[in-house]
Amino acid sequence: MFKNVFGSGFLVRTSHVILTWAITLILFLHDTDLRKQEEKDELMQPVLFVLLVLASVLLYFAVSLMDPGFVLTDGDAKFTLGVSEEEQEMIPHTSKTLRQRRCGYCLLQQPMRAKHCQNCKHCVRRYDHHCPWIENCVGERNHRWFVLYLGVQLLTLLWALNLAWSGFRYAPTWDSWLRQNGFLLAAAFLVGVFSLVVVLLLGSHLYLVSLNTTTWEFMSRHRISYLKHCGADENPFDRGTLRNLWGFFCVCRIIIWEQVYFRESSDPV
């Protein structure tokens, strides 16, 4: 289920953890609201902030090390439980057709919505993208955890940005101000940049999830065999915003996308 923690992404993961706790330490060392409450023995806010930072780090490792949905055998690509031979014969050949293909790299049969990742060296079910931030693919098994991680990370960053703002102190000259607030300014700058990136990522992923599409499908639908014959606004996997969100966040089983695709194809017009 989990990848080797000392794999190729060890440096990326280590850098992420060090940077996270370094910024947290700076917020505690400067005269921020955290330190003020700590000095007054009011530990509720400092403890909650540390727990939120810890939760974000744990979610980061979970998403980074989790199997995103690797296709390891031809058996992973079978969809006979979802579509019978009779149903396949009923599908109009002039409409949407399915041609199971073998991956040109790992030579395994690809389930629908899977794609081979050059970085991970595997095909990934319901492939979304390969994220260098977590040094892992985002796919069917870890996509919802990735979105949850982005949400927790955003809360942590916004809270940290507010705390950093509370720690800036007046100084008579720019030189003395920078000496007094330099580390805090650097931390606030990094937190601000990361906050903007996470807002854009979280917003785009929630939008795509609401449509039941992936980043790869959204960017490359003209090159994807099961989508390029669809209309510009047609998505065979879209079941409505609420059902898409429910299926993404609340349905834990592996979905047979061929079944959804065939059902939509064979619906009477």
Q: List, for the chain, all residue ranges whose pLDDT scores fall below the cut of 70.
A: 1-8, 75-100, 263-269
Residue in 131, 230, 250, 252 annotated catalytic: 131
12 C-beta neighbours (distance < 10 Å), count: 15
How high is the pLDDT of residue 106? Answer: 87
How high is the pLDDT of residue 252? Answer: 82
pLDDT in tens, 92-144: 444 455 556 788 888 888 888 999 999 999 999 999 999 999 999 999 999 99
How high is the pLDDT of residue 251? Answer: 85
Burial per residue of 211-222, b for 16 or more beta-carbon CB atoms within 10 angstroms, e otherwise: ebbbbbbeeebe
Dihedral sign of CA atoms 34, 196, 12, 137 in order: positive
How high is the pLDDT of residue 61? Answer: 96
Dihedral sign of CA atoms 2, 206, 148, 193 in order: positive
How high is the pLDDT of residue 85? Answer: 47
Q: What is the pTM of this model?
A: 0.85
CA angle 8, 9, 15 (to 5 degrees): 135
How high is the pLDDT of residue 79? Answer: 47
Catalytic residue check, 123:
no
